[in-house]
Every structure is written in C-alpha cells, then in structure tokens.
C-alpha cells in the first residue's frame, strides 16, 4: 500500500491526474490500487478482483478522473461453488488543475497569462529570453522555464488538462513548438498567426507525414473573431476561445438562441 501512495505522490508532483481505488467489500481486505490518467495502474485488490473486473475498474477510474466525481462500483465475482459474491470498491479521483502553457513571453503572452490566472489555470511560461521570462514581469506565473521553447515544451506532461498557447518571437520557434504539441493529448493547441502562416505550417506538417486529422485540432489563428487589435484584446479573444473549449457542452445555450431570434 505504501508503494501505491508513493506513486500517487509522484503523479501529483508531475501534474498528472489519478484515482485511488479502495476495496470496501469484502471488509477484511485493505488493498488499494492507483490508476493514472495515462491508463497505467499500480497495486492490487486481492483475489476477489479478477482481470475482467480490474479492466472495468480502470475504465471507471479514467471516467471518474475526467468527470472529477467519486463513485462506488459493485462487482459480481463467481466463486468455486458457482455462487456469486459481491465485491465493492470506492474510486476517488484526484484531477490535476488545468495548466496553461504559454510558449513565449512577449507582449501578447503577458495579458494571456494574466487572464489565464484569473480563470484559475496554473500558468507555465517558456522562453529563452531571461529579460522577458522572469518573476518581475510574470509575478503571477506558477512556473517560468528558461530555455529553447520546443525543447522545454517536449519535457512537459501534455495531457487532457493541458492548454498550450504558442506565441513566440519567431515563426520557426512557433513551428517547432507546434510539431511537439500536435501529437500530444493537450486539450487546446493555439498558435498566434495569420492565414498565410497557417497554410504554410500545415503544408510543412503534411510534408513531414503529420496526419491531416491532427491539424484539425489546432486553433490557428488562435482566438475568436472579435476584431481584436491590441495585445489585451487579442488576449481576451484567446481566453474566450479556451473557455469555449472547456465548456463545449454549454455552447449554443437557449438564451443565446433567443437573442439571435430577437435580432
């Protein structure tokens, strides 16, 4: 059991979501199991849980992590006497806080990071310029990483809680970051760009063998069209785009449909 808690602690430090599974019945058992958001699992729940049940527990744990809701799962276990006995497990998810990873620390990155912090994101800044990426400029950031953008981005745990905004000081830096993130499980991938830049980037990705289905996930140019002109307005546009990705099931609500009908 100690090994399970050690793994859970390591997962928490790395920013990965996980669930702790505790067997409730039979009561005499005290085993626990850890299920990571990456689908890996550690620990065992005794002979009362067979491989089929373990697979079900892992599936339900992944769903619990995503939904951020605990649940009690009941399982039927056939015995040698062909009598069905019930096992019961508690699944407790521990979802990591959403991360907004900003590649670049320039004039647009600053207001984007401030809005991200107001929206309760963990803010990570990556840039190779110490004059820009520092605590004096980004006092609200949770982590500031100095180094080559793409190289440092590749070291991050890019999971479903990761939102990546690419806004570096150069097109080639942007492209290298996009190559890193496009194959990841990041929930949001945004690049500051023009239409011409989007076409150029997508052509390069296709030439390098990247599946076109992956490029559909990229928000390029990032943001929603509100006619933004200033860095602050562009940041509002990007923040709104990210909120839309987070709250997709609430988009197109009836109250806004009513407003459209009234026009």
What's the confidence (pLDDT) of residue 9? 87
- pLDDT value at position 13? 73
Top-confidence residue, 109 or 263: 109
Q: Quick: pLDDT tens for 68-88.
A: 899 999 987 665 555 556 788
Residue 255 located in a structural domain: no
Asked whether residue 195 falls in the same domain as residue 85, the answer is: no
Query: Is residue 51 very low, low, confident or very high in pLDDT (cuts 50, 70, 90)?
Result: confident
Indicate if the pLDDT at residue 17 is higher than 90.
no
Per-residue confidence (pLDDT) for residue 56, from 0 to 100: 94
Distance (Å, rounded) from C-alpha 121 to C-alpha 257?
A: 29
Q: In this structure, are 104 and 74 located in the same domain? A: no
For 247-260, the pLDDT digits (tens) are 887 777 676 666 55
- Residues 90, 119: one domain? no
The string of pLDDT tens digits covering residues 161-215 is 899 999 999 999 999 999 999 999 999 999 998 888 999 999 999 999 999 889 9
Range of the domain at 32: 2-94
* Overall pTM surpassing 0.85 (yes/no): no
Task: Using the structure block, give the residue that is written with the tokens 């942007």.
Answer: 174
Name the domain boundary from 73, 94, 115.
94
Q: Return d(Cα 258, Cα 70) in angstroms, integer.
A: 36
**Residue 176 vs residue 261, higher pLDDT:** 176
**Average pLDDT of the segment spanning 117-139:** 96
| Single residue among 94, 113, 128 that ends a domain in this structure | 94
Which of these three, 79, 94, 109, is where a domain ends?
94
User: Could you report the per-residue pLDDT of 88-100, keeping only the tens digit for each?
Assistant: 899 999 877 899 9
Looking at the fold, whether 86 and 105 belong to one and the same domain comes out as no
Instruction: Enumerate residues 6+ apart whose C-beta is below 8 A from 185.
Output: 158, 159, 160, 162
Check whether residue 88 and residue 131 sit in a common domain.
Answer: no
35 and 124 assigned to the same domain: no
Share of the chain above pLDDT 90, in %: 64
Are 89 and 109 in the same domain? no
Instruction: Say yes or no: 103 and 189 in one domain.
Output: yes
CA distance 34 to 92: 10
Residues 171 and 110 in one domain: yes
Mean pLDDT of the chain: 89
Q: What is the 3-state secondary structure (H, E, C) of the chain?
A: CHHHHHHHHHHHHHCCCEEEEEEEECCCCCCEEEEECCCCEEECCCCCCCHHHHHHHHHHHHHHHHHCCCEEEEEEEECCCCCEEEEEEEEEEECCCCEEEEECCCCCHHHHHHHHHHCCCEEEEEECCCCCCCCCCCCCCCEEEECCHHHHHCCCCCCCCEEEEECCCCHHHHHHHHHHHCCCCCCEEEECCCHHHHHHHHHHHHHCCCCHHHHCCEECCCCCCCCCCCHHHHHHHHHHHHHHHHCHHHCCCHHHHHHHHHC
CATH number of the domain within which 121 lies: 3.40.50.720
Total domains in the fold of the chain? 2
Q: Are residues 146 and 216 in the same domain?
A: yes
Residues 119 and 50 in one domain: no
Instruction: Give the pLDDT score at 25.
Output: 82
Residues 114 and 235 in one domain: yes
């Amino acid at each position: 059991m100690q090994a399970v808690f050690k793994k859970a602690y390591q997962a928490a430090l790395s920013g990965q979501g996980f669930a702790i599974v505790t067997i409730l019945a039979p009561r005499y058992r005290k085993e626990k199991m850890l299920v990571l958001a990456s689908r890996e699992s550690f620990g065992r729940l005794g002979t009362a849980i067979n491989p089929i049940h373990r697979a079900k527990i892992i599936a339900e744990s992944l769903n619990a992590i995503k939904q951020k809701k605990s649940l009690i799962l009941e399982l039927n276990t056939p015995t040698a006497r062909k009598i069905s006995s019930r096992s019961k497990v508690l699944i407790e998810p521990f979802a990591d806080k959403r991360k907004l990873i900003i590649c670049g620390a320039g004039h647009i990155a600053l207001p984007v990071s401030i809005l991200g912090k107001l929206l309760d994101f963990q803010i990570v800044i990556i840039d190779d310029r110490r004059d820009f990426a520092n605590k004096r400029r980004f006092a609200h950031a949770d982590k500031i990483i100095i180094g080559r953008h793409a190289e440092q981005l590749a070291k991050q745990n890019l999971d479903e809680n990761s939102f990546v905004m690419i806004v570096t000081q150069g097109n080639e830096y942007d492209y290298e970051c996009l190559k890193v993130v496009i194959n990841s499980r990041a929930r949001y991938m945004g690049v500051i760009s023009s239409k011409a830049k989007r076409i150029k980037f997508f052509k390069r990705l296709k030439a390098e063998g990247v599946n076109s289905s992956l490029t559909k996930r990229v928000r390029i140019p990032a943001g929603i069209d509100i006619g933004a002109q200033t860095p602050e307005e562009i940041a509002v546009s990007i923040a709104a785009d990210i909120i839309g990705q987070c709250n997709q099931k609430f988009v197109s609500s009836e109250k806004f449909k009513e407003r459209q009908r009234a026009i």
